[in-house]
Amino acid sequence: MSDHSAVVGGSSAGRLLACPGSHQAIAALPPVVAITSEYAEHGTAMHEVMATLMRERAVDTHCQMRRRARALVGQRFHDRDLSPEDCDTLIIPAIDALEELERRYQGRRFRVARVEARLEFPGVAGAFGTIDLLLTNDEHVLHVDWKFGSGVGVRAVAPAPDGAGDLVNPQLLFYAVAGRASLPALYKSRAVVLAIIQPAAAEPLTEVQVDAAELTHFKQDVAAAVELARQPNAPRSRGEHCRFAACKVACPLWTGPLLDFTSLGPRIPAEPAALAPANEQPTDYGVFLSAAKTLADQAYLYKAEIDAQLHAYLTAGGVVPGWKLKPKVKQRQWVDDLVVSKALYDLGFKIDEIWQKKLLTFARAEAIARARAVKIPDNLRVVPPSTETTIAREDDPAASLATPVAPEAFAAALNTLIDNRKQETLK
């Protein structure tokens, strides 16, 4: 993946629109805060794998993507070799999602137009971004952005922070505006579709079609935000756009009231039973918990940013009173499988104690099934019922708590399936 522009790029467009003041705040920080992580390095490697596959597809339109992906296992991409696990759980599912996207928009007649194309954003000097993949057919131009993280899910369209409708992902809009200006022939008489493929997310594929007016409005909004960002005392705001913004370490909106829980006021109920009846307005305590949870989540983000910048600053030779670097402790591992197995055997270990077998994983089974053009029966994989619950925001797409399946009913159904399989085996 190429670097984004210093002014505004695809990954920073949403932040700049929400907080113009962040531009100068980030520029004022020491350069050592531009750090990476294992997750980022892993994502870069997976991007390189997909770029390799798409470039091969551009040359050979009949290229078998899954077969080529498996042939790449063991080859070096970025800083690591492609592992069988990454191929099965990330690369192959990304190919599956891409084919599903193409089916939704007139089938397999798409051509690879650009791979990791650097696109200039119009109207803002020095602004550019790099789009992972552009596909075209006679009717559509598809923008595909690969995401290989498993933590925060990223969607092509998400609810607006204020709850007023949905917002198209600003990173995708940035690329679409830049693409339309940089490659006008590709966009002539074609509908624009923006897609995010994130194999490890709950929704591996999300997409949205946008019109010319929406792209024009976004272009104008970005130009206005850039102009505002260059002004003294540009406005700042705190929100989800701060998640990956290094400037929050010194932002008064974060360092001021962030950890002051007393500002919420005393809201602890006099009795544990002070709950809001169903379908009625929440109590003061419910309102307090909502505000406190928001502050706690933001405090976690703030701590993560401070830790990352502290580590980067010390690594670069900086001095931070009370803190130092130390070697990272890793788990011990066997020196060599054959050497260890022989030594354990000599100690009296039995062969079945030294070498253990276990059933293959879902991902590996799916990969083998695809290679053999067979389908694994759905009844072989079940989701056990749970009496446990977890919290989620109200805009979470997952269903709200409902009456769980009785564990006894699940156990009975599972036992029936196992007994039937055993009887079939004995026949």
What pLDDT digit, counting tens, does each position of 16-25 carry? 898 988 888 8
215 vs 273, more confident: 215
pLDDT at 203 over 70: yes
Residue 335: predicted pLDDT: 85
Tokens at 344, concatenated: 């354990």
pLDDT at 407 over 60: no
Residue with tokens 């579709």, as numbered in its chain? 193
pLDDT at 365 over 60: yes
User: pLDDT per residue over 77-124, tens digit each?
Assistant: 998 999 988 999 999 999 999 999 999 987 668 999 999 999 889 888
pLDDT band at 375 (very low <50, low <70, confident <90, very high): confident
User: pLDDT per residue over 271-324, tens digit each?
Assistant: 444 555 555 677 776 777 777 787 778 777 778 878 888 888 888 888 888 888
Residue 4: predicted pLDDT: 47
Residue 257: predicted pLDDT: 55
Q: Report percent pLDDT > 90 for the chain.
A: 30
State how far the Cα of 377 lies from the Cα of 387, in Å rounded to an integer. 27
Residue 160: predicted pLDDT: 72
Residue 420: predicted pLDDT: 64
Identify the CA nearest to 7 among candidates 118, 120, 131: 120
User: pLDDT per residue over 113-142, tens digit each?
Assistant: 999 999 889 888 888 889 999 999 989 999
Residue 210: predicted pLDDT: 93
Residues 391, 396, 18, 169, CA torsion sign: positive
Identify the CA nearest to 232 among candidates 23, 29, 7, 16: 23
State how far the Cα of 67 lies from the Cα of 371, in Å rounded to an integer. 8
State how far the Cα of 179 lies from the Cα of 129, in Å rounded to an integer. 10
Kindly tell me the burial class for residue 397, based on how many C-beta atoms sit within 10 Å of its own C-beta (0-12, 13-18, 19 or more): exposed
Query: What angle (nearest 5°) sits at the alpha carbon of residue 212, between those of residues 98 and 128?
Result: 70
Summarize the confidence of residues 63-83 as an average pLDDT.
91
Q: Centre a 10 Å sphere on the Cβ of residue 198 and count the other Cβ atoms it contains.
A: 24
pLDDT band at 361 (very low <50, low <70, confident <90, very high): confident
pLDDT band at 254 (very low <50, low <70, confident <90, very high): confident
Residue 184: predicted pLDDT: 92
Beta bridge partners of 379: none
Summarize the confidence of residues 326-334 as an average pLDDT.
81
Distance of CA 218 to the CA centre of its chain: 23
Residue 33: predicted pLDDT: 47
Residue 295: predicted pLDDT: 75
Amino acid at 250: A
Domains of the chain: 10-229 (3.90.320), 256-315 (no CATH), 337-426 (no CATH)
Distance of CA 23 to the CA centre of its chain: 24
Summarize the confidence of residues 145-161 as an average pLDDT.
83
Q: Count CA atoms closer than 13 A to 411's CA, side-chain side.
A: 4
Residue 403: predicted pLDDT: 47
55 vs 157, more confident: 55
By DSSP bridging, strand 128-136 and strand 140-146 are antiparallel
State how far the Cα of 344 lies from the Cα of 336, in Å rounded to an integer. 12
pLDDT at 401 over 70: no
Tell me if 274 sits within 8 A of 64, measured CB to CB.
no
